[in-house]
Amino acid sequence: MNKLKRILLIDDDFVTNFINENLIKEMGIAEEIICFKNGKEAIDFFKNKESSQPPIDLVFLDLNMPVMDGFQFMEAYHKLEKKPTSEVIVAMLTSSTLEKEKEIANQLGVQEHLNKPLTKEKINQLFLKYYS
């Protein structure tokens, strides 16, 4: 399995980020994992990211968060002046099962929809689809 440079976890639930970060570390699939508690923190990170820093390969994005939710994050992401140079895969990681939310997420450029909790199987499926 290829090792990714960076994975972002964007979720307002500290425990979810903690568990997901440990799962990803245990699998050894990323050189770096960065956690944010809302979309605004992640957008600020993208705005301040230097081009010399390693690329972001994968984003696990929660939908329902305070300050800036997953939909607002995707809208702001597309408006960024400094777009990431590599293809960033965005996986919506949510407990929501509403089809309407999936449709909106698709329109905003989300490539994958995963129901919580994140598991090794779900990560392996993402790797097979996008990184093999």
pLDDT digits (tens, 9 = 90+) for 16-31: 999 999 999 999 999 9
pLDDT reported for residue 38:
96
The predicted model gives 4-26 an average pLDDT of: 96
Give every strand in the sheet of 89-94, ordered side by side. 30-36, 4-10, 58-61, 89-94, 112-115
pTM for the whole structure = 0.92
Residue 92, strand partner residues: 61, 113
Q: Could you tell me the maximum CA-CA distance found in the chain, to the nearest angstrom?
A: 39
Cis status of the peptide bond prior to 117, with omega within 30 of 0: yes
Distance CA 123, CA 42 (A): 21
**pLDDT of the residue at 51:** 67
67: left (phi over 0), alpha (psi -120 to 50) or beta: left
Which range has the worst mean pLDDT, 7-16, 32-41, 45-54, 117-126?
45-54
Q: What pLDDT does residue 2 have?
A: 75
DSSP symbol at 79:
T
The mean pLDDT of 63-73, rounded to a whole number, is 94
Report which of residues 132 and 45 the model is more confident about.
45
